[in-house]
Structure 1
């Protein structure tokens, strides 16, 4: 059994809205986990990374006094996890905070390809779990499950600029570390080996890591738990071979909404066990709270104090928002919240370095809530009126620091080409076609209040769609050097952004994005945040369709330049809207 990308979701509670959610979090998964454990066969429970941070409760706990137990670890102890792997966001608060959080863990924490001069608390390179198998005729036999982990090679580069205590952290190439780890586990008697990989499949695309496929090709890997993508593999509830290159694999979404299960059929042969077959399934969480399941009650009990503190802090009023700020149309370049994030980061850099030329200073951010992960809470929905602290912090839901990188005009254009790839080709005969390329996550878009650009979707290739780029009102200078304020994840090469790398960071660690939003965000709000980030054009014979949340019907003024807009349908969690002909 496996979870992935929990991001501190312990309870089915929305700290932004201040109310209980329908489902999600470890309390909602507890009944599913308990039901699986009650089956006739032995099981293990693991997590493949990004469990410690990401909710208001979890992030606040990472900054709590050293003598208090971390609520995420307490909850995982209560559910009796057998092993977990580190993800990139688990180190967002630095090694000292990580060591403090993990000290009470009753399970091994894996970092197979991580190397630190000073050990990162209980982090180990390999782990072994033993279970007892009951055969029909042969009585009982033990089975030894070796467990390893893998982080993408760029992870440390993203983190070293964020915290001074990360300087001694290094990373081996994951395949080399896994090869050695597999040899070590087999020499210690492991019957089967499981890899917890904080990365998802490449699906054959060039801009995604092929780490998972390379792991599947290693001799001795019997199963893989994947993550990082916040996606589900295989399809929810559907039995499937669920394999990558013939190796059983699972990717159970995010936020405690799903539990992934790989069932292995085994045969004892000679001196050990052999895998005969497998089946992979993903199960949805059952509900907000199940009072009949004792593990759920234990999770509630061990997180009660942290929950109360987080709920009280999250409700602090910061000020007022003049209009609703939603991300329902973020994929169309209309996202006031993300535009505010970019403006806040630019403002922080401008204050820190007043000698910078404002004409060449840009704020850039990606929309984190575009419905890509599904569900009602996958959108920004900041209402007009009073704004609470948790609502403002959720505009950038990661404990990331502000960086500034130096990019050329060519780099900026390449970044905009990445945004243009988020749309589908709309030729003259494409009337009624969905406008968004759903193979491209929303975070691939780059929004900025300082850049105006036109995307002509009648061009088949993204490179040919980008037209009329203007920076702070002036035509893009391809020979110029621009200072771009962004999160350190982007700045240090996360998602392989054009021109961005550890070497390009000009100014690092200028405070966290969330802190800056809370401190100065509302002071930087004006009507321009609600203006389109880019202009979209397509043939006058085409009225494309855009899919988003049904609630988007209440804020159609955000896309009035793409009208007339008519709603096509609105069943379930999604609604489709037909845009105007030609637009732009």
Structure 2
């Protein structure tokens, strides 16, 4: 691919590496030498700053696992090709010279395309990353580092950085050897209005302190990640001293203050609102990381009383944030009079054919890869009956999750038995006997959940299973039942029926976890004979439980989960873990993880129920 771009306006990111070299000028041939004084310049001007975040390897509006255009229940569209069309529309409306385009991180991980160019055909001096090619062609001006930028190691990240025509910013990514920023902390762009004096726009990039935990294997001893507030307090005054009339922060950190890692780090994971509240001199923040949709949120700075506008454009290129920064010129300088923001929806426009054409060869490679064989299975595995009987398909998911978690445990936690939960997400999912493709494996796990490990007591494990068993309707006694007469029970929180994804099967790694679900008993008392390795589970017994981020954050309202200690959180996508496992092992043998089936069963008064599809 070529790095040529009709929108290229900035020096390459590799050139902007020191504080002394952080000023880059935007000037058109018609106005570059204008040099208007205060008495001749305009009294007002609107600068438009556009922003994306959490693109996660979505270059085109494509679902690689369905081999079809992306679609979801809200009919969102994704990808840079869509964003390009929105950006072109804004530039045409506002005037290209009056706009900037930023990103708030998590760019090179998350899709089969991202995986392919990290693991299958890694980017290099001769292999350009499709995300770099597309972002260069669209004409980005700066981007912040996301935590997922570090998933494939620092060397690959540095290669990606060199391929960008714009700076990759990370003020709080610190080189352990030198104590200096490992990436440019900020850049100052000089925008020239059609008439009048130049406007200096400071862009500060902040990333997530959680990288130190989530990618410890890649960054320990090489980089540390300080707090967002602390680094903003250092660099915002420096940017203002260097002449910034406007300060925009691109922060890979959610708006609502919280941390999935508890007190394991002294700095919060989600701190964008704290930065706005506690650091004077910021006009707007492009928010990332949390995958939330925030058209506009106004936060008052505690020191100055001035408003700071936050916007987060959801994820994957579904939205484009648009900030309008209104400035006035008086007494020889520009000052911000107000900021507003809104979101544009990518599903309202077609893909930019330039970007689609640019990525055509890469897209074809990745589609071929997803269709490609990565292993074999000794037996077929289907999730069709996983809602009401123990299946090898869910046992496979639980085995991979538990095995991955166990490898990351340390200290006393490494001695605890490991359990795992999985839900029957996709009734159509099936792994064939014989050759298995990436798409086959991905069908078992249709969501983009990531893996965590928490610690639960035996009593909490039982309470969790009781909550899960609410999925079933009661029965009068033993017999044969149609599955529809047993599953998807109506509850006070699920008036149209409990969805399949809110029913979890729990399994053990080194020893089987066994239990009956007696549907003649009342809700809350259905779990019978709960045992681990053949021994009854004691209330005070301690377990490590592999769980997805949706559950751990409270999805489904399972008891004890949201407040349980988090032992492992590398933010690894479970779907990719399954693909990686098959790629590494080559053979799926259900005897490895499903030999003791059934570990759980539906019963009535101690007798197993017969269930028909």
Q: Secondary structure of the residue that 1:343 maps to in structure 2?
A: helix
User: Which residue is equivalent to 1:171?
Assistant: 225
Counterparts of 1:433 and 1:361, CA distance in 2: 34
Q: Does 1:72 align with 2:131?
A: yes
- Correspondence list, 1:102-251, <5 A: 102-117=161-176, 123-134=183-194, 139-160=195-216, 162-163=217-218, 166-202=220-256, 211-217=271-277, 218-234=279-295, 241-245=296-300, 246-251=307-312
**TM-score, normalised with respect to structure 2:** 0.63
Judge conservation of contact 1:61–1:70 (CA < 8 Å) in 2: yes
Q: Does 1:273 align with 2:334?
A: yes
Residue by residue over 1:445-477, the C-alpha shift from the partner in whole angstroms, topping out at 9 and shown as x without a partner, is 98642367999xxxxxxxx99988754564444
Judge conservation of contact 2:171–2:181 (CA < 8 Å) in 1: no
Indicate how the Cα distance of structure 1 residues 432 and 32 shifts in structure 2: closer, same or farther if over 3 A, else same.
Answer: same
Q: Tell me the C-alpha RMSD between the 2 structures.
A: 5.3
Match among 47, 64, 82 for residue 28 of structure 1: 82
User: Which residue is equivalent to 1:435?
Assistant: 494
Judge conservation of contact 2:382–2:391 (CA < 8 Å) in 1: no
Larger radius of gyration: 2
**TM-score, normalised with respect to structure 1:** 0.66
Judge conservation of contact 2:204–2:248 (CA < 8 Å) in 1: yes
Counterparts of 1:232 and 1:107, CA distance in 2: 26
Q: Secondary structure of the residue that 1:305 maps to in structure 2?
A: helix
Q: Which shifted more, 149-158 or 202-211?
A: 202-211
Q: Does 1:285 align with 2:346?
A: yes
Match among 142, 148, 156 for residue 89 of structure 1: 148
CA drift of 1:19 comes to 2.8
Counterparts of 2:299 and 2:462, CA distance in 1: 31
Indicate how the Cα distance of structure 1 residues 327 and 11 shifts in structure 2: closer, same or farther if over 3 A, else same.
Answer: farther
User: Which residue is equivalent to 1:426?
Assistant: none
User: Which residue is equivalent to 1:557?
Assistant: none
- Correspondence list, 1:405-424, <5 A: 409-410=456-457, 413=460
Indicate how the Cα distance of structure 1 residues 395 and 66 shifts in structure 2: closer, same or farther if over 3 A, else same.
Answer: farther
Judge conservation of contact 1:249–1:262 (CA < 8 Å) in 2: no
Counterparts of 1:268 and 1:254, CA distance in 2: 36
Counterparts of 1:143 and 1:326, CA distance in 2: 61
Where in structure 1 are there 5+ consecutive unaligned residues?
235-240, 371-378, 424-430, 437-441, 456-463, 506-510, 536-559, 562-584
CA drift of 1:189 comes to 0.7
Judge conservation of contact 1:393–1:517 (CA < 8 Å) in 2: no
Counterparts of 2:62 and 2:236, CA distance in 1: 40
CA drift of 1:388 comes to 2.5
User: Which residue is equivalent to 2:42?
Assistant: none
Indicate how the Cα distance of structure 1 residues 209 and 159 shifts in structure 2: closer, same or farther if over 3 A, else same.
Answer: closer
Indicate how the Cα distance of structure 1 residues 347 and 184 shifts in structure 2: closer, same or farther if over 3 A, else same.
Answer: closer
User: Which residue is equivalent to 1:253?
Assistant: 314
CA drift of 1:496 comes to 8.5
Counterparts of 2:465 and 2:184, CA distance in 1: 38
Counterparts of 1:114 and 1:443, CA distance in 2: 38
Q: Does 1:516 align with 2:516?
A: no
Counterparts of 1:263 and 1:419, CA distance in 2: 51
Q: Secondary structure of the residue that 2:202 maps to in structure 1?
A: strand
Judge conservation of contact 1:59–1:399 (CA < 8 Å) in 2: no
The count of aligned residue pairs is 481
Indicate how the Cα distance of structure 1 residues 13 and 358 shifts in structure 2: closer, same or farther if over 3 A, else same.
Answer: same
Match among 56, 80, 86 for residue 7 of structure 1: 56
Judge conservation of contact 1:416–1:466 (CA < 8 Å) in 2: no
CA drift of 1:51 comes to 0.8
Counterparts of 1:524 and 1:40, CA distance in 2: 59
Judge conservation of contact 1:196–1:224 (CA < 8 Å) in 2: yes
Counterparts of 2:239 and 2:385, CA distance in 1: 47
User: Which residue is equivalent to 2:10?
Assistant: none
CA drift of 1:81 comes to 0.6
Counterparts of 1:418 and 1:261, CA distance in 2: 45
Residue by residue over 1:496-517, the C-alpha shift from the partner in whole angstroms, topping out at 9 and shown as x without a partner, is 9733357x99xxxxx9554114
Q: Does 1:499 align with 2:565?
A: yes
Indicate how the Cα distance of structure 1 residues 51 and 396 shifts in structure 2: closer, same or farther if over 3 A, else same.
Answer: farther
CA drift of 1:269 comes to 3.1
Residue by residue over 1:186-205, the C-alpha shift from the partner in whole angstroms, topping out at 9 and shown as x without a partner, is 11111111111222222899
Q: Secondary structure of the residue that 1:189 maps to in structure 2?
A: coil
Counterparts of 1:192 and 1:481, CA distance in 2: 53
